[in-house]
Amino acid sequence: MKKVAVSLVTLILAAGLASPTLAQDVASIEPTAIVIAPARTPLARTIKDGLSQAYYSAARDSQAYAEAQKLYFLYGERYFEPIWIASGANGSIAFSPAAQKIVDLFERAGEEGLRPSDYLTPAIDLSRAGTGAPADLAALETAFSGAVMRYANHLHNGRIKPQSVSDMLDIKAKPIDEAALLERLANSDDPAPILAELEPRHPEFLALKAALANFDASASQRPTPIQAGPVLRPGGDDPRVPAIRARLELPATASNFYDDTLVTAVEGFQANLGLEVDGIIGPATIAAFNGGHATRREDILANMERWRWMPSDLGAFNVFVNIPEFSLSILRNGAEEYSTRVVVGTTKNQTPVFSDMIRHLVVNPYWNVPTSIVRGEIAPAVLRNPGYTDSHNMDLLYNGSPVSPWQVNWSQVSTSNFPFRVRQRPGAGNALGQIKFLFPNKHDVYLHDTPSKSLFSRSLRAFSHGCVRVENPMEFAGALMANEPNISRASLESMFGPSERWINPQTQIPVHLAYFTLRVDDAGNIRSFGDVYGHNEKLIAAMGLSSSLPPAIVAEAGPAVDELSP
């Protein structure tokens, strides 16, 4: 087997082709020619025929087609010789020891938050290895390789394609050099550590995995989750009141009345968790009640899945925005160095989930108003009041030059030939405030200041058109520029004025717009947050998990105070 691999590498190098690595950045992958070596043994020819039939009979763009194509190319590189079928001393044919150990991993896939049935399929019948029938051997060989590839990808990228949950989950799969992986596994005495390299090493993922392992053992400590429902205000009446009193360890009562004693306990609970202390029990407080021992198994599994979607390396110094938490953190080597509250997009105008790099800071920014806001909000306002743009410090531009809004037929704004765009000038009322933080992306979202500070005091902060508004932007800017010798909060504030100023840090900073409804703190405590966009419940359904609780999805948070803000 090793000789085959060595000779194939020689062929590839002789042809001037670059050999791939086990896990490299998507951007660094270059197209390479595909080497299909001829089958040289009867079993290899049977393997090739079986793979060819599976490849060419599958519907293009289907999962079966993608898997068959990968297998055909992988085996084609190795003359279609088997990887997992080995000959014994007496000439018998059996599954290799490495394959047997991988089967053991498949059986324990539940410990990883995966499903054994995804890998231990009917096609993997180990008894077929002893029959010696070429067709059975070939089918078993390729089915097992397919299962190994599937398991590896599920460990590394998760079971569910993010875009199948929502097109706002702009997440790309992390690449795996499957040929090199299969070769390493086949030649290893212990394949478990090799596959473990593909598992997320993020501390919160590992904490959730530990919580999953202890889930059944802690069943006696687990209270019944509190149901989602209408917002409960002091003096109200709700059938959930007894459960809430029990959760806060207050004396039991048959009354459903939300009395002063319970209000005081709820306010103390909210204060301890950094929620808005108002005594109002809404989705955020219900979600907080359902953290800790009340956490559901399906929530643990769904959040583990989302950690598999994250980049393997978040960056030694990075910005992490958790949308359901309405929070932003700067992390250095995994430790929080700074945090602040944020406002995210409404359920209608959701903040997308993706990772990028902060490349620019802009002081005194212009706001180039998105076409959707021009059509949906500014044009109707101008039709009612032609002086609207002037009163909001806005320019109407045609080919980059200002034109009078009084000379434009705003009723045509919804047509494709409307040639104008709207820009808001820097100033105190600018929707972006005094600074924005750019990571150019197809969604045209970014982090920015805002003149509407009152929204940050609310527990539910889903009010923007998709961008992320930062409560303390200049504090954030100072912390963000901690590694920049020539940029500081003071130097940025010295630029305040009427002119837009662009600042380019020497080092780009990773930024992650993430979506986790469970977070694990340094003490190992699990905190729960509302499913503001419904991504969590949709993922639970896509994973085939039963939900034991109606989804506590945050409804539209209400109209934004500065309704034109991005």
Instruction: Enumerate the active-site residues.
Output: 448, 467
Distances (CA, A) of 41 to 46, 79, 80: 9, 9, 9
Query: DSSP 3-state assignment of 319?
Result: strand
Query: DSSP 3-state assignment of 470?
Result: strand
Distances (CA, A) of 269 to 261, 277, 540: 13, 9, 28
* Secondary structure letter of residue 60 according to DSSP: T
Distance CA 260, CA 528 (A): 25
**In one letter, which amino acid is 137?**
L
Tokens standing for residue 462 = 């889903």
Q: Which residues contact 161 (CB under 8 A, 6 or more apart)?
A: none
Q: Kindly give the pairing relationship between strand 462-464 and strand 335-345.
A: parallel
Max distance between CA atoms of the chain, in angstroms, equals 94
Distance CA 77, CA 34 (A): 8
Distance CA 352, CA 345 (A): 9
Beta bridge partners of 335: 332
Asked if residues 437 and 480 have their Cβ atoms less than 8 Å apart, the reply is: yes
Distance CA 426, CA 288 (A): 39
Distance CA 44, CA 85 (A): 11
DSSP 241-309: HHHHHHHTTPPP-S--B--HHHHHHHHHHHHHTT---S--B-HHHHHHHTSGGG--HHHHHHHHHHHHH
Q: Is 225 exposed, middle or buried (0-12, 13-18, 19+ CB in 10 A)?
A: buried
Three-state SS string across 128-195, please? HHHCCCHHHHHHHHHHHHHHHHHHHHHHHHCCCCHHHHCCCECCCCCCCCHHHHHHHHHCCCCHHHHH
Asked if residues 459 and 437 have their Cβ atoms less than 8 Å apart, the reply is: no
Asked if residues 350 and 533 have their Cβ atoms less than 8 Å apart, the reply is: yes
DSSP 374-438: IIIIIHHHHHH-TTHHHHTTEEEEETTEEE-GGGS-GGGTTSTT--EEEEEPSSTT-TTTTEEEE
Query: DSSP 3-state assignment of 63?
Result: helix
